[in-house]
Structure formats: C-alpha cells, structure tokens
Amino acid sequence: MPDFLETEQEKTVRAYLNHFARTEIRPRSLEADRMQDIQPDFYQAVQRSGISMEMMPRNPGSRSKEGEQREHTTLRLSVLASEELSWGDASFLLSLPGPGLGGPPVSFIGTPEQRERFFAIFKDTEHPHFGAYALTEPEAGSDVAGIKTRCEAVNGGYRINGTKTFITNGSRADWVVVFASIDPSLGRAGHRTFVVERGTQGFSVGRRHHKLGLRANDTAELVFSDCFVPEENLLGGRAHYEQSKEGFKVAMATFDSTRPLVAAMAVGIARAAAERARELIEERYMLGRALPRYRALREALDDMDRRVRAARLLTWKSAFLADVRQPQSRAASMAKAYAGKEAVLICREALELTADSGEVPDPFLEKWFRDIRVFDIFEGTAQIQRLVVARRLFEEIGAKVGL
C-alpha cells in the first residue's frame, strides 16, 4: 500500500523548495512573463541553492536478493519538487538546468558509454546546461505513431530530415533526444531514437514560439536538414531496434514517467491560485459572518482545496507505482487528466471569485489562468489520457474473462 504521509526528509525538501519558490521564483515571475525570458541572475540563485531538476530518476526501483520489491521514493520526491516549484512559477521549473525530458530516454536504453557521455555535461556547476526531448511535430502531436521526421542509414551513421515543434528548452539545449522513422511502412517498429548535439551540421533552431502561457520558458522549433548523426548517437545501438518497437516504447515509457510530474505541476499552479483567492477574499470579507454570500464563498474555497488534494493523491499514487516498478501507465494518465482538468477549472474559478466589475484581475491569477491552459494539452491531451485509461481498463477486463 502506498504511504501518503510525508517522511521527515520529504517535509524538509518541501519546506526548502517552498522557501526557494517564495523568495527566488515568485518575485521574478511577473517580470519574466512580461519579458518572455528568465534573467541570468536566476541561474546564479539556482547554483547557490544546490537545486537541480533531473526530471526523471535514473533508477526508480530495485529488488532485494530475495526478489522482494523495494520502494524507492525518487519519483515521489521529484513530484513534491514539481509541485512546490510550480507553485512559484512553472516556467522557472521547466527552465531549470538539467537533461529535462531528454533524461529518461538516455537512462532507459542508452548504453553505459552513452549515459556517461551525455550526462557528463551536467556535472559542470559553473554554467547551466540543458537537454531536450523532440517528439512533437507540426502534424504529429498526440499521434506519436504518425511522426514525419525521417532517418536514413548512411555510411557511419544516419541522416535526419524533418521538423520538430514546441520543444521545451529547444533553443538552449546542448543536446536533444530526437525521434525519427527509418521506414514509414514499418509503423511504430520503424521508430529510432537519437541524441543530436548542438552544433551538428544540418541541425538548426527555427522560430522561438511566443505562447499564451508559460511565456518565460524557452519553447522552440527545431529543423533537421540532411543532418548527419554518427552511429554512436543512436540510443542503445542497432541491436535495440531489431525486430522490436523500441523507439516507440521509449517514447511511451518517457510519457509514463513524466506525466506524474506534469500532474504535480498542475497541482502546484492550482494550489497557488486557490491560496491566492483565499487571501484576496479574506482581505475583503469577514468570512465568519453568517451571510449567504460569505457562506457561498467559503464553500467555493473549500471545494477548490478538496479538488487540489484529490489531484495530489492521484499523482502520488502514480509516483508510488513507478518507484516500486509496477505498471503505472493507467495511473499516470488518470493523474495527468484529472489534475490538468481540475487545475484549469480552479484557476478560472479563482479569477471569477475575486473579480471586481470593471477592474483588472489580480496579475498572478491572470498569469496562472494563462499558464494552466497547456496542462490539459501537453504530455498528451486529456482525450489521449482517457484513451490510455480505457485501453488499460479493457485489457484488465479481457485478462479476467480470458480474452
């Protein structure tokens, strides 16, 4: 059974990260959103703090000599960190130095030499370094199997052609994990996964996206035009792709491991909005007075808090399953779908509860309302999450009845 009580270590981590978010992130938030960029002094603060966010633990679970499953709370700690830092500003969390979403594929199937080579750069504490994950394309977002980027085996490696879009930290990344198809007729079995390093001939950054929300985070288009990638940059080597769908499986495994983190980010933003709404309402009203209007406000605030807590519990459940290496695709999709949907509604309700006719809304609530919109979309839309949940449900039913 998962333990939903925080350990002393987790309480300490949460308190420290909340302090960092309150003192280093939140004061920079509105200006960074307006400038659509994060100033270098933030990375100096990160360096002083010792905080790093490798978005997925490299070894989420283990077995004892007797084969008993042991719980490692690595992903749960990452989930706690994601919530607290997103409470400050999710754009800053996404902009933390580290391998980012590119980390899990390198960890999952990279050879020991590849892991050492590509992760070594993050040992540099003097300068921020970034990794990125390039799967989404202009015509292939939720339909991962339909990617158009192509790779062709040539002497000494592969040649890649295609365009990726909405890539987090894309313009600043030192290397990017890129998914491409070697043969469209093979479907998912034709997917290959590469690490393309900055400065590689034929690899360039296209436009930097200007977004409705999360505007301070770098999100870019990446272009591959006869981009030559050496053989040693094919993650896992050719053997991993023989008679398998390894490339597609890596993409799906990455989503299973990162969706709890995205759910936790949504929880952090929803919590921030609910707390801000409570603060503003308490400034204006004496909520202890027995008036219908005040009772309705109290009930609305309590309902928002309850939904934040429910989303957190779903998120923790999915992290627990990952940490003990149990199947958690269904749990991760449930957490991401519920947290994203409820966070959107909570941010909207916070605006509505605190709005005064004809006045400009609270700047933080207005910003979080813009930021939260994407959480019902990226890392798989809500529709995709429901499909995943339904598929896993019918698989369970089929197994029980012998289908």
Element of type H or E holding 213? none
Task: Give backbone dihedrals phi and psi of 4, rounded to 5 degrees, phi first.
Answer: -95, 10
Q: What is the pLDDT of residue 288?
A: 58
From the candidates 139, 242, 379, 396, which is the catalytic residue?
379
Cα-based torsion angle of the residue sequence 128, 133, 137, 138 in order, rounded to the nearest 10 degrees: -30
Three-state SS for 140-163 is ECCCHHHCCCEEEEECCEEEEEEE
User: Which residue is it, tokens 């308190």?
Assistant: 15
Residue 286 CB burial class (10 angstroms; 0-12, 13-18, ≥19): exposed
Among this protein's residues, is 232 annotated catalytic? Answer: no
Q: At what angle do helices 8-20 and 74-94 cross, to 10 degrees?
A: 0
pLDDT of residue 359: 67
Is residue 297 packed enough to be buried (19+ CB in 10 Å), middle (13-18) or exposed (0-12)?
buried
User: CA–CA distance from 61 to each of 104, 208, 320, 334, 355 (Å)?
Assistant: 14, 37, 10, 22, 47
Mind listing the domains of the chain with CATH numbers? Answer: 1-403 (1.20.140.10)
Q: According to DSSP H, which parts of 95-194 are helical?
A: 103-109, 112-119
pLDDT at 2: 64
The CA–CA distances, whole Å, from 182 to 151, 188, 194, 196, 263 equal 5, 10, 12, 16, 33
Could you give phi then psi for residue 162, rounded to 5 degrees? 155, 180
Closest by CA to 79, choosing from 248, 385, 373, 328, is 328
Q: Please, which residues have CB within 8 angstroms of residue 285's CB and are 6 or more apart in sequence?
A: 293, 294, 297
- What's the token pair of residue 380? 């798989």
Place of tokens 């130095």: 97
At 395 the three-state DSSP class reads: helix
Q: What is the pLDDT of residue 58?
A: 39
Non-local (6+) Cβ contacts of 357 within 8 A are none
CB 276 within 8 A of CB 350: yes
The span from the CA of 371 to the CA of 188, in Å, is 33
- Check residue 302 and give its pLDDT: 95
Nearest-angstrom CA–CA distance, 145 and 124? 36
Please give the chain's pLDDT, 403 residues, in tens. Answer: 666 788 898 899 999 999 999 999 999 999 999 999 999 999 999 988 888 755 334 333 333 333 333 344 588 889 999 999 999 999 999 999 999 889 888 988 899 999 999 999 998 878 899 999 999 998 876 667 778 999 999 999 999 999 999 999 999 999 999 999 998 888 778 889 999 999 999 999 999 999 999 999 999 999 999 999 999 999 998 887 875 555 556 656 666 778 899 999 999 999 999 999 999 988 877 655 656 677 888 899 999 999 999 999 999 999 988 888 887 888 888 999 999 999 999 999 999 998 875 566 899 999 999 999 999 888 767 777 777 778 777 777 766 666 5
Q: What is the pLDDT of residue 5?
A: 83
Q: Whole-prediction pTM value? A: 0.88
Which pLDDT does position 403 carry in this prediction?
A: 56
